[in-house]
Amino acid sequence: MTEWSVAEPRKLTLTDPVSRLQVRIVNGAVNVVGTDEATARLEVSEIEGPPLIVTQDGSTLTVTYEDLHWKGFLKWFDGKGHHRRAVVSVAVPAGVDVEVGVVGAGAVISGIRGRTDIRGVTGDTTLVGLSGPVHAESVSGDLEAQSVTGALRINSVTGDMTVIEGAGASVKAETVSGDMVIDLGPTHREGPPADIRLTSVSGEVAIRLPHPADARVEANTTSGSLSNAFDDLRVGGQWGAKSITGTLGTGRGTLKATTLCGSIALLRRPDPAPGDGEPPAPSAPDAPTASGKVL
Instruction: Judge whether 281 and 185 are in contact, CB under 8 Å.
Output: yes
Strand, helix or coil at 45?
Answer: strand
The lowest-confidence range among 10-14, 160-164, 214-218, 288-292 is: 288-292
What confidence score (pLDDT) does residue 292 get? 41
Mean pLDDT of 184-200: 82
Mean pLDDT of 9-28: 93
What confidence score (pLDDT) does residue 279 get? 44
pLDDT tens per residue across span 140-185: 889 999 999 999 999 999 999 999 988 777 999 999 999 999 998 7
The Cα–Cα gap between 227 and 264 comes to 6
Q: Which residues 6+ apart lie within 8 Å of 9 measured at CB?
A: 43, 44, 45, 46, 47
pLDDT tens per residue across span 231-240: 999 999 877 7
The Cα–Cα gap between 183 and 259 comes to 18
Mean pLDDT of 204-229: 92
Strand, helix or coil at 83?
Answer: helix
Domain ranges of the chain: 1-105, 142-295
Closest C-alpha among 104, 99, 120 to residue 49? 104
What confidence score (pLDDT) does residue 78 get? 56
What confidence score (pLDDT) does residue 295 get? 29
Percent of the chain with pLDDT over 70: 85
| Most distant CA pair in the chain, distance | 65
What confidence score (pLDDT) does residue 168 get? 73
- 152-166: burial string, b at 16+ Cβ within 10 Å, e else: bbbbbbbbbbbbbbb
Residue 252 has pLDDT above 70, yes or no: yes
Closest C-alpha among 43, 35, 40 to residue 17? 40
| Mean pLDDT computed over every residue of the chain | 86
What confidence score (pLDDT) does residue 85 get? 92
The Cα–Cα gap between 260 and 220 comes to 8
Strand, helix or coil at 75?
Answer: helix
Instruction: Judge whether 20 and 96 are in contact, CB under 8 Å.
Output: yes
What confidence score (pLDDT) does residue 66 get? 82
Dihedral sign computed on CA atoms, order 226, 228, 233, 235: positive
Q: How far is CA 196 from the centre of its chain?
A: 14
pLDDT tens per residue across span 59-81: 999 999 887 666 665 555 555 55
What confidence score (pLDDT) does residue 237 get? 83
Instruction: Judge whether 201 and 177 are in contact, CB under 8 Å.
Output: yes
The pLDDT confidence band at residue 288, using thresholds 50, 70 and 90, is: very low
Residue 281 has pLDDT above 50, yes or no: no
Residue 226 has pLDDT above 60, yes or no: yes
